[in-house]
Amino acid sequence: MTVQEKLGQLQQLTWTGDTGPGGGQTAETEAAARAGRLGSVLNIHGARNTNALQRIAVEESRLGIPLLFGLDVIHGFWTTFPIPLAQAASFDPEVSRRDAEVSAAETRAAGVRWTFSPMMDVTHEPRWGRIAEGSGEDPYLNAAFAVAKVEGYQGPADGSRLAADDRIAACAKHFVAYGGAEGGRDYNTVDVSEQRLRNHYLPPFKAAVDAGVATVMAAFNTVSGVPAHGNAHTMRTVLKDEWDFGGFVVSDYTGVEELIAHGFAEDGADAAALALTSGLDMEMVSTHFVDHGEALLDAGLITIEHVDEAVARILALKHALGLFADPYSDESAETTEPTAAARTAARETAARSMVLLKNEAAALPLDPATGSVAVVGPFADSTDLHGTWAGPGSHRFPSVSVLDAVRETAPAARVTHADADPARAAAAAREADVTVVVVGEDPALSGEAAVRSDIGLPAGQEELIAAVAATGTPYVVVLVNGRPLALGGWLDTAPAVLEAWHPGIEAGHAVADVLFGTVNPGGKLPVTFPRATGQIPVYYNHESTGRPYNPAHPDEKYVSRYLDLAEGPRLPFGHGLSYTTFATSDPVLSRDDITRAELEQGETVDVTVTVTNTGERAGDEVVQVYVHDVAASIAQPVRRLRGFARVTLEPGASTTVAFPLGAEDLGFWTNDPAGTFLVERGRVDVYAGTSSTAEARRTLRVL
Ligand code: GLC
């Protein structure tokens, strides 16, 4: 390979469409492919399109190295599954594995062998639109869902299935701490201690690397002053050296170029040198590696070893994907729409992801034999509930509306519709036996560069709810949204509220399945819902502070609280109700103490919890186990999720779930930049229950 050909492998250009500034490089892309100065292309799909471009690279360039095609398949290609935040609410990573497997098959058939997914950015920032794309505020939950997605896309960690015609390479993003952007403003500054970086933001990425993730994408933000695209500590020291990551790191869209705007690089050449020497391997859309690489080599500002390392990593993945053996896709095998089975998977996943926030006097489930149902609100008849970062299918296949699904589910009922106008909605409600109010966020308010300074219900929706409530007709509220919302006073009076998120292609069917009880909701909140925007950040895994609020002394002035807001979240992490009831036992520990030596040898303490369905119908409960190291050399979160299990129980049935607690559950990373993980002696409180507010506790002593 010539130097130019080597540098060409480090270049990714976009085809059409823009998922970042500029966009649409079709002509440059074809020319670069023909010249052998291109390694990868994003935003292209369709076997005919990919084969045509692949033929240029393989048959017209000197070496004929095949191109790697990538696309953002975040929660579906033809079949749009619920947004990832919704999937996290299922507390069942298997739903994400199912999404990834269906998506991989559809994507591969469309000529694309690489997705820029899963996103695993832990965040406490509901103003940040990209909270929709990840698995919420907890590292452990994010890690579980990241692994399920990586395995679902790629197959087993050894990469043995990557060349199969229903598997694609995954991408752990965004490396790292993107979810910590100040003010929740996208691309904004992240200043984070080493301990919080390692205890909070890095764990999902480590889990993805251990699951064999093929690639990692750098994040747009700085990490304590050093942009992630030029951060040797995170990309080289942690990812490539400490974790021995064998895949490659791709920039985000023009992320190398943006080192200049960060005030970190003087110019394009400087940006290329800083990025490449810090461990970045492939440049997305901007072209500084190719433009300046030879001069940088001549000037000794980069070495050929830097270039060769990146080339080797990229070619290794192309080989593992079978691109050298078979660079083309079978156009006859291409699918053009969701299969019935895929739609069923999407529908089941969406229903499993929904969270019953409130249900007084069994307002839900509704009776399919109800005489008349009014379905009102701005999203009552919406066919655009796929959510942010929905794939090509969202442009071709409308999501099923709630209105249509209610009509299907209650065929004998008189089902009426009214839009967002309060008067019209009230008029419809007055004529109905029950009203379903569908409010929330347009998907355009969610996702990248979609940050809200006020996370209340959008204008007019609270008035709509109030107008319906004033009619006296029984009503239930369905929320369709891509982030936690600051829910107003209406939450205190609404009889029932279902959090449906943005549920994807089968949105309406899944909502109706839950509303009418075909599915008993069992989801839990993967993010805290604040009382007000001004309360942000508010999250369950917070530090105690030296002056924590004590509910036993609510009037104590000198504590960490707001003068004008009640203490604590509106709805806590892990919260979610069911149409039945459950009882959970206190946690039982297999032993009351364990030495650090035993933990270092892999010994564990088993926490067992027995859960019983004490109601009248089958249902799911999510048993959760949290730990709190009450005195440590780094102040620990008051709760850390270290185990969860969603169980299905018939009325009266019980089951006992066991969670092993080992060193990784009882220790923590320190502020040592070289990475020091400590398990300290002392008391660890172990909580178990059905939300982060669980009070049942046992004490474990680490000796
Ligand atoms: C976007 C996103 C990233 C995505 C990439 C390619 O800016 O930050 O998540 O994968 O560009 O579309």
Strand-strand pairing, 593-594 and 697-702: parallel
Please state, in angstroms and rounded to a whole number, the distance separating the CA atoms of residues 398 and 402. Answer: 12
Question: Which CATH code fits 341-534?
Answer: 3.40.50.1700
Total residues found in the chain within this entry: 703
Active site members: 252
> How confident is the prediction for the chain on average, in pLDDT?
98
Tens of pLDDT, residue by residue over 106-121, are 999 999 999 999 999 9
Distance 448 CA to ligand 1 centre (A): 8
R_g of the chain computed on alpha carbons:
26
Nearest to 522 by CA among 348, 703, 318, 286: 348
Phi first, then psi: give them for residue 84, nearest 5 degrees: -55, -35
Q: Could you tell me the distance, in angstroms and rounded to a whole number, from the CA of residue 328 to the centre of ligand 1?
A: 25
Say if residue 542's pLDDT is above 90.
yes
Q: What percent of the chain has pLDDT over 70?
A: 100
H or E stretch covering 512: helix 507-515
Higher pLDDT, residue 22 or 565: 565
Phi-psi region of 182 (alpha: psi -120 to 50; beta: other; left: phi over 0): beta
Q: Which atom of ligand 1 is nearest to the CA of 70?
A: 6
> What would the mean pLDDT of 297-302 be, rounded to a whole number?
98
Q: Examine the pLDDT at 248 and tell me if it is beyond 90.
A: yes
Q: How confident is the model at residue 279 (pLDDT cuts 50, 70, 90)?
A: very high
Confidence of residue 648 (pLDDT cuts 50, 70, 90): very high
Nearest to 213 by CA among 222, 221, 204: 204
Reduce the DSSP state of residue 653 to 3 states and report it: coil
Q: Which of 252, 254, 388, 389 to mutate to test the pocket of ligand 1 (most atoms within 8 A of CB)?
A: 252
* Distance from C-alpha of 445 to C-alpha of 321, rounded to nearest angstrom: 36
Residue 23: the pLDDT is 80
Ligand 1 centroid to residue 270 C-alpha, Å: 23
Going from N- to C-terminal start, the domains of the chain cover 341-534, 580-702
How far apart (Å, rounded) are the C-alpha atoms in residues 669 and 329? 45
Q: Are 221 and 177 in contact (CB under 8 A)?
A: yes
| φ/ψ of residue 47, rounded to 5 | -55, -35
Write a three-state SS string for 520-534. CCCCCCCCCECCCHH
With a cut of 90, say whether residue 18 has pLDDT above it.
Answer: no
State the sign of the Cα–Cα–Cα–Cα dihedral 319, 321, 323, 326: positive
Q: What percent of the chain is modeled with pLDDT above 90?
A: 98
For ligand 1, atom 11, name the residue with the nearest CA.
Answer: 253
Distance CA 592, CA 614 (A): 30
Q: How far, in Å, from the CA of 114 to the mean position of ligand 1?
A: 13
CA-nearest residue for atom 10, ligand 1, is: 116
**Given the CA of residue 173, which atom of ligand 1 is nearest to it?**
9
Q: What is the pLDDT of residues 557-597, one digit of tens each?
A: 999 999 999 999 999 999 999 999 999 999 999 999 999 99
Q: How far apart are CA 426 and CA 338, in angstroms?
A: 38
Cα 252 to ligand 1 centroid, rounded to whole Å = 6
pTM greater than the 0.85 cutoff: yes
| Ligand 1 nearest atom to the CA of residue 171, by list position | 10
- Residue pointed to by tokens 């005030």: 263
Residue 20 Cα: closest atom of ligand 1:
7
**Each residue of 55-82: pLDDT tens digit?**
999 999 999 999 999 999 999 999 999 9
Q: Is the pLDDT of residue 182 over 90?
A: yes
Fold of 580-702: Immunoglobulin-like (2.60.40)
pLDDT of residue 86: 99
Tell me which residue has its CA closest to atom 3 in ligand 1: 252
From the number of C-beta atoms within 10 Å of its C-beta (0-12, 13-18, 19+), residue 479 rates as buried
How many angstroms from the chain centroid is the CA of residue 661? 25
16/676: higher pLDDT: 676
Question: At residue 240, does pLDDT exceed 80?
Answer: yes
Q: What mean pLDDT is predicted for residues 449-472?
A: 98
Give the residues surrounding ligand 1 with Cβ less than 6 Å away: 19-20, 42, 72, 116, 173, 252-253, 448
**Cα of 619 to ligand 1 centre, how many Å?**
38
Distance CA 291, CA 574 (A): 50
Residue 220 CA: nearest ligand 1 atom is 8
How far the first Cα of the chain sits from its last, in Å, is 58
Which residue in 176, 87, 89, 178 sits closest to 128, CA to CA?
A: 178
Q: 504-514 in b/e burial notation, b at 16+ Cβ within 10 A?
A: bbbbbbbbbbb
Average pLDDT over residues 84-102: 98
Residues 38/29, Cβ–Cβ less than 8 Å:
yes
3-state helix, strand, coil in the chain (%, to 5): 35, 20, 50
What's the CA-to-centroid distance between 440 and ligand 1, angstroms? 25
Q: 3-class SS at 400? A: coil
- Residue 412 burial (CB < 10 Å; 0-12/13-18/19+)? exposed
Please compute the mean of the pLDDT values over residues 356-369 and round it to a whole number.
97
Decide whether 341-534 matches 580-702 in CATH topology: no
Please give the single-letter amino acid code of residue 587. P
Q: What is the pLDDT of residue 17?
A: 75
pLDDT classification of 22: cutoffs 50, 70, 90: confident
